[in-house]
Amino acid sequence: MNLRRLKAVASKEFLHVLRDPRSLALGIVTPMIMLFLFGYALTLDVDRVPLAVWDQSNTPQSRELVSRFQGSRYFALRLNGSSYAGLEQAIDRRDVLAALVIPVDFASRLGVGREAAVQLLLDGSDPTTATIALGYAEAIVLTWSRQIMVETLQRNNPHLAKAATPLEIRPRIWFNTDMVSRNFIFPGLIPVIMMIVAALLTSLSMAREWETGTMEQIITMPVSRAELVIGKLAPYFCIGVVDLALAVVIGVFVFDVPLKGSLWLLSLMSLLFLLGALSVGMLISILAKSQLLASQLALVITVLPAFLLSGFIFPLENMPTPIQVVSHIVTARYFVTILRGIYLKDVGLIVLWPQAMFLLAFAGIILGAAILKFRKRLD
């Protein structure tokens, strides 16, 4: 491989990219817009669930229970109801997602030491939020119920009250202490954004030459297939590096996502992933010979799997077995694991070497396939 010829091809492609503002916008502006959009809008945290309360008891005991919900950061009291019809209308309009109904005999049953039931109505059209909100509500009620039991025992039998709660959970959360979903989501955004840049831009590279009629000039150039393919990848590789640097800086300084691991290891793994993603786009461009077809194939083959089958948002363990098997050939799956390991756990190659080897092998195989499939002739 002649470095002078390789540099000439890369320089020609750099000029083409710099003279095409659409390519620069797609390569740099679009990923940054997506980064901010997903970073601010996409969250798995369920806080301040809109709550309606129908307190039929209207006693100090019932107001204490309501205050427990109000004092929690997981619920926000939006409506004081007076009938089931009113609660139903509020849930239908999505003014509230949950409704707490306290019966008339709530305080009297507690006063005589009997079991008192309360009703929680949930909007099941959003099952994820409903399930999490149900867990929060059960925890609030259980905590207050345990307190009432201990206070009752203390009045009747102080010695027995000490043994009323023999077990105590003392949780210790590792890696994401505050359990902020953004710290989990943001590292997964980087593979998706890099895949979009790599696949969509490079998938148009060779196809554009065929459609504009300049492929004849490229074929007659005194360069080898490897020099031509690698030279045309060079500017998009640089754009990907810029996007990576911007993503890391924005994550740390704008979204406060902790980067606990090695920046050098993060850079190395990212470059491996970027090379593989660029090679996929180039291979698609060589095979398709049409910009429209190449962009559609790139979207289906790279972007959608990176979004759906990488574990970025949807846990792979919950998917059907055939889908889990297919996900093993999606490079973004391994890169997401690497990024979350570096960002949140500060793990190194001792743990991440299988994923790193897959990225290296994938990049080598796909780049080699792209070089082999390119023919310097007109069919």
Give the pLDDT confidence of 150-198 residue by residue, as tens digits: 676 666 665 554 555 566 677 777 888 777 778 888 888 888 888 877 7
Mean of pLDDT values over 264-281 = 91
Give the pLDDT confidence of 1-50 residue by residue, as tens digits: 677 778 888 887 888 777 777 777 777 888 888 888 887 877 777 788 99
Q: What is the rounded CA–CA span in Å between residue 26 and residue 29?
A: 6
Give the pLDDT confidence of 311-341 residue by residue, as tens digits: 887 788 888 888 888 888 889 899 999 999 9
CB 371 within 8 Å of CB 202 = no
Q: What is the rounded CA–CA span in Å between residue 226 and residue 247?
A: 30
pLDDT of residue 352: 92
Using CA atoms, how far residue 212 sits from 11, 92, 198, 205, 291, in Å, is 19, 55, 21, 11, 10
pLDDT over 90 for what percent of the chain? Answer: 17
- Residue 178 corresponds to which tokens in the numbers above? 């505050």
pLDDT at 203 over 80: no
Give me the amino acid identity at 170: R
Mean of pLDDT values over 253-266 = 90
Alpha helices in the chain (DSSP H): 3-18, 21-24, 30-41, 60-71, 84-92, 106-111, 127-156, 158-162, 181-203, 205-212, 215-219, 225-253, 263-288, 291-298, 304-308, 321-327, 331-340, 349-373
Find the helix or strand (DSSP H, E) in which 122 lies: strand 119-122
- Residue 334 corresponds to which tokens in the numbers above? 């391994």
Give me the amino acid identity at 32: M
CB 221 within 8 Å of CB 228 = yes
CB 335 within 8 Å of CB 311 = no
pLDDT at 261 over 80: yes
Q: What does pLDDT average to over the chain?
A: 83
| pTM score, whole prediction | 0.79
Q: What is the rounded CA–CA span in Å between residue 39 and residue 50?
A: 23
- Higher-pLDDT residue of 377 and 73 is 73
Mean of pLDDT values over 210-230 = 76
Check: CATH 3.40.1710.10 for 49-162? yes
CB 123 within 8 Å of CB 116 = no
Q: What is the rounded CA–CA span in Å between residue 60 and residue 5?
A: 84
Q: What is the rounded CA–CA span in Å between residue 223 and residue 310?
A: 38
Give the pLDDT confidence of 86-121 residue by residue, as tens digits: 899 999 888 899 999 999 988 888 877 778 889 999
Query: Which SS3 state, helix, strand or coil, does residue 99 take?
Result: strand
pLDDT of residue 209: 73
Give me the amino acid identity at 101: V
Mean of pLDDT values over 244-254 = 89
pLDDT of residue 180: 79
Domain ranges of the chain: 13-43+180-373, 49-162
Alpha helices in 157-180 (DSSP H): 158-162
Closest CA to 55 of 43, 37, 69: 69
98: β partners? 51, 122
Mean of pLDDT values over 41-61 = 85
pLDDT at 77 over 60: yes
pLDDT at 378 over 60: no
Give me the amino acid identity at 234: A
